[in-house]
Amino acid sequence: MVVAVVPRFEAVYCDGWDGGVVNPLTATVAQARDAAGEPYTVVLLLDGRRYAVLDLSWVDGYCCVSRFDTAGRQVSRHVLRGAADGELFLCRAFTWVGPPGVGEYEYPHVAARTSTTYRLSGERTDVIEPRGDLGARHESRSEQPPPRLPIPDFGRWQDLPGLGGDAPVEIVDAVWHSLPVRTATRPPWRPPRPLQPDGVEVLFTSGAQVECYDRELRLSVHTAGQLRLPSGRLIAADPSSLDLGAKPFSVTVPPGSYPVSVSLATFADDPRHSRVTAARLEVGARPAVRWALALRDGQEPIDLGYREFFGFGVDAGMACFVDAGSIDRMQDVWRTLGGLVEPRYRTIGSGDMVAWSSGWGDGTYPTWIGYDTTGAVTCFVADMLLFSTPDDEDEDEDAV
């Protein structure tokens, strides 16, 4: 009788992997993080070498499983996200199969690459790149629900390596290992927590004082005029780029005219210097109690990583609100104006567009939707990110 040998993996706990084990954790600390849903990493060893890395953050409904070959090259990565029913579903899968003798850093670029993306709606997209970055790209779509897994208990990760085709394994805590170890001030990875609306209400509080780059600014709120929305489909965009595929937000409002206000920040030590911090389209009279990122059709929050957001691009220092049905006409009107808006905001035409200067200038900016206690839309706020600062010195917001 043949007895199958179940591979034994040894688990090492830490803040993450970056050329070695970063900020090692004891099993007790890792288990406490797991129970609280906080981020941590499990490095699985097979015969003393790194075989897989599990980046876990249950509070974010996130799990990333990376597998490596004997040369230390990444051969697969599977990203799972949390579904509404509490289970995990496979969101993305990547595999690399490449030539021998290629180093771990070059390997993902030259190896044959296959990526699969699943949507909870049942849409599957496969992309095959036989020569990695160097050759053709073949894409196909089909209908297939994503594979699902229950969130595993601590130490019960046997099914996760199986996403890459592995047979059942046994996992035990490592007693000792020879992996390189180092300490760092922050983990080498972050869970996918998109940029959040921080202090949006303060932006429209006249007289409020804020600090920016060690300078004090005072906020003031100004009426910019009424915006006509005959279709109820709002677009936020660079007015000089309306012909480049500007799309409305998926959340609509009843057709009509809505007041727009602009928040200005004036430097206390230079009253002649002011910047637009945000523009707000008022939809309802109730105050906002909840904020959400304004999305366009096809945009999914689950695609956003740490401090990322979907926004509108600005390449000429100006931004605007305009109705989706008016963009063809208003792009011609904007050209006749020469792109100049003075003062820093104004209503154009008979309320068909409201334009303003975009904070510090060119960039990409999010729009937040405010909801009242009944769940009704109360406003749209285009945030110029004037006071937004990164969590770390080497990080900043990332637009998608």
Question: If you average pLDDT over residues 142-153, what whole number do you get?
Answer: 93
Provide the residue ranges of all domains of the chain, joining segments of one domain with +.
8-182, 201-399
For position 342, what pLDDT does the model report? 62
Which of 366, 129, 378 has the alpha carbon at shortest distance from 259? 378
For position 346, what pLDDT does the model report? 87
User: Average pLDDT, whole number, for the chain?
Assistant: 90
CA distance 379 to 8: 56
For position 396, what pLDDT does the model report? 44
Spatial neighbors of 208 by CB under 8 A, at least 6 apart, are 202, 218, 219
Q: 303 — phi, psi (to 5°)?
A: -85, -5
Q: 164 — phi, psi (to 5°)?
A: -90, 10
pLDDT tens, position by position, 385-396:
988 654 544 444
Question: If you average pLDDT over residues 303-327, what whole number do you get?
Answer: 93
Q: What share of the chain is helix, strand, coil (3-state, %, to 5)?
A: 10, 45, 45
> What percent of the chain stands above pLDDT 90?
70
pLDDT tens, position by position, 19-74:
999 999 999 999 999 999 999 999 999 999 999 999 999 999 999 999 999 999 99
pLDDT tens, position by position, 159-184:
888 776 777 788 999 999 999 999 99
For position 37, what pLDDT does the model report? 95
How many residues in total does the chain contain?
400
pLDDT tens, position by position, 255-290:
999 999 999 998 888 888 888 999 999 999 899 999
Other CB atoms within a 10 A radius of the CB of residue 198 amount to: 12
291 contacts 375 by C-beta, under 8 angstroms: no
Element at 332 (helix H, strand E): helix 327-337
- Using alpha carbons only, give the angle 65, 26, 170 rounded to the nearest 5 degrees: 50
Count of helix runs (H) and strand runs (E) in the chain: 3, 28
Residue 308 tokens, joined: 């990322």
Task: Say if residue 246's pLDDT is above 80.
Answer: yes
CA distance 232 to 251: 9
Question: If you average pLDDT over residues 340-349, what whole number do you get?
Answer: 77
Give the range among 130-144, 151-165, 320-334, 354-368 with minimum mean pLDDT.
151-165
Across 305-362, where does the E strand assignment appear? 308-309, 312-314, 318-323, 345-348, 353-357
Record the pTM: 0.87
